[in-house]
Amino acid sequence: MRETKRTAVRTFANQIKNLSKYPGYIYGASQPQQCAWLKKSHPLIYKRLQELVKQGVVEFQGGFWVEPDTNLPSGESLVRQAIYGKRFFKEEFGEDMRLCWLSDAFGYNANLPQIL
């Protein structure tokens, strides 16, 4: 878990550097859990992330708390993922997630259309 948290922080820090380095660059992030780790461990980077979201150069995609495996979890688990993720993005960044983004899914739960 420690390495996962470090990787998330390093990813955000690198993307923030890229945003100042490359005009027109836009970064998409999809997991509120990583933002929560960043907020707790690196508040200055987190504050910068909030500013960049307001500027429109960081876009959040998805809204699930983490990018879930949608084959195995129950429908209730997926709903909770969406509730927690949407709530975090709304409270912390003022962003209301209205689209589902599952970039790393190996398949889709049959309940997903009903949930979304």
Residues 84 and 65: beta-carbon distance below 8 Å: yes
Q: Just list the catalytic residues.
A: 104
Determine the distance from the C-alpha atom of residue 82 to the mean position of all C-alpha atoms in its chain, rounded to a whole number.
11
Six-digit token pair at 5?
């948290």
